[in-house]
Amino acid sequence: MALSFDEEISLASEQERSRWMHRRLLIYCLFSIAAAGVELAVHVIALALGEGPFLQNLASRSGYDLLPGMVAIAVFAAGYARARNRQLDRLAVIRYSFLMIFAVGVMAFLIRPIFASFPLRTLVSGTAAAHMPGQPSIFGRVLMIHLTGALFMPWTVREAFRILLALCGLGVLSNVLFADGSIGHRVFAVMTMPVAGVPGIAFCWFRYSRFRNKFKIKHLLGRYGQLQQELEQARRIHELLFPNEITEGPFQLRYRYEPMQQIGGDYVYVHRDKAERLSIVVLDVTGHGITAALTVNRIHGELDRLFGEDDDRQPGNVLKAVNRYFCVSLARHGIFATAVAVRIDQQEDRLEWANAGHPPPFVLDTQGRCVPLDSNAVMLGVLDDPAYECSTQTRQFSDEDRLVLYTDGVIEAHDERYEMLDLEGLQQVLRDKTLRPAGEPLSEELLREVQRFRKGPAEDDILIVELSRTSTPVVSQPSG
């Protein structure tokens, strides 16, 4: 099952944090080895330069000064080697970081006090134990160990709290076994131990919140770039569904398409039958973007099937069949469409058409008239058979006539006063262009007029299809 976007970000951020923690774990081990080594070297130099024979000094102080450092070096060297040579998953990295911090706590709360209590007097007979300097308080040790771990390890607040509880447990054990003072003093020390973790927990909260925000932005930018590339590829594939323009022969077909996003739900389908009649279907699917484009892909396949099964389909029958497809497959998902289908018969000078709730196409004839082909059926997907009716209408379509089909993005374009172009405005633009000779790209000029009228970015897909009929028929290449 696919992850939600938030789950995807959470998983990716945890994987990145795991790699980050692994690197920090290795650095922490090296830092601890170096710190223990420096401490050990300082103690050896101090013993060598101190008063009395070196062996006597070593015997009286080695348990407190030297052995804990040697144990620390051995523990962290082993932890470094093990963590470096293994492929650790996220939970293993967290577990290892806990173990290393816990090891520091064991050495601070248990091993060092034990060694401090039993110096190696047996190395030199009769040597008395030297006075051992006081250790930091339990509160101070918890604070130092937890804060140091928090500075190195990118824990969450919950993880930082868990290691704090472990350190407090060691502190309580050390308090019972080694602490001096009254019962009240020792109880007070135990009660205040959790407060020592406040700085580390606060730092972990700040760093983790910042990491999540930065990672989310980085991830979003990466996904946005990936999505843009995928949309560009999808746009190229989607545009392969559109027919080639026809620039030679008795019919000339041109169109301009401006999706609101990179891909959209406006579409034109062209089919030429055996009798050289040209059928055109223009659809406008509800919605925008990827969802509408995917619907167009399905409708394209259905139209191919319909014309493949019956080459002589009238426009009304085409829309009734597509409406049935919508009712069976798409309407239950809230997907509908408006559509207009036309068929041009050059030999009969006839235009057949059917309109299912689509903005009316306009026929520009040689008399300068702009005749609308009004809707004669409801939009696709609203009514199923037998209630759905869509009849085929007929009118004359002579030489030099032109047909302009479009989607509602044209008439719904608005200016700075939010006044739409609407049908009257479009008709006026078309009347101004009727004196232009057939074959010139009226679709291009009409798109420029819409863009000039519109203020701001497009709020809907725009498709403009122009079909012209020339007076000199020439054999043309079919497209579709």
User: For 388-404, what is each residue's pLDDT tens digit?
Assistant: 999 999 999 988 889 99
Q: Which residues contact 324 (CB under 8 A, 6 or more apart)?
A: 384, 385, 388
CB atoms closer than 10 angstroms to residue 101: 26
* Residue 310 Cα to chain centre, angstroms: 44
| Residues 226-277: tens digit of each pLDDT | 888 888 888 888 888 999 999 888 888 999 999 888 888 899 999 999 888 9
Mean of the per-residue pLDDT values of the chain: 84
* Mean pLDDT of the region 407-427: 89
How far is it, in rounded angstroms, from Cα 96 to Cα 85?
A: 13
User: What is the maximal distance between C-alpha atoms in the chain?
Assistant: 130
* Residue 349 Cα to chain centre, angstroms: 54
Assign 280 a pLDDT band (cuts: 50, 70, 90).
very high
* Mean pLDDT of the region 207-234: 87
Assign 4 a pLDDT band (cuts: 50, 70, 90).
confident
Assign 317 a pLDDT band (cuts: 50, 70, 90).
very high
Assign 1 a pLDDT band (cuts: 50, 70, 90).
low
- pLDDT on residue 480: 43
Tokens (6 digits) for 15: 């994987």
Residue type, 231: L
- pLDDT on residue 352: 96
* pLDDT of 62 above 70: no
The share of the chain scoring above pLDDT 90, in percent, equals 36
Tokens (6 digits) for 144: 């130092």
Which residues on neighbouring strands pair with residue 351, listed in sequence order? 344, 395
Look up the CATH number of domain 242-469: 3.60.40.10
* Mean pLDDT of the region 412-425: 88
- pLDDT on residue 124: 40
* Mean pLDDT of the region 422-431: 88
Does this model's pTM top 0.75? My answer is no
Domain ranges of the chain: 5-222, 242-469
* pLDDT of 183 above 90: no
- pLDDT on residue 475: 47
Assign 65 a pLDDT band (cuts: 50, 70, 90).
low
Tokens (6 digits) for 167: 């350190």
Contact 402, 442 (CB under 8 A): yes
Range picked from 103-112, 120-129, 212-221, 343-352 for highest mean pLDDT = 343-352
Contact 75, 103 (CB under 8 A): yes
| Residues 107-159: tens digit of each pLDDT | 888 877 776 655 444 444 344 444 445 567 889 889 999 999 999 989 999 99
402 burial class (0-12, 13-18, 19+ CB within 10 angstroms)? Answer: buried
- pLDDT on residue 54: 59
| Residues 16-54: tens digit of each pLDDT | 888 888 888 899 889 989 988 888 888 778 767 766 665
- pLDDT on residue 126: 43
* Mean pLDDT of the region 352-359: 95
Contact 322, 300 (CB under 8 A): no
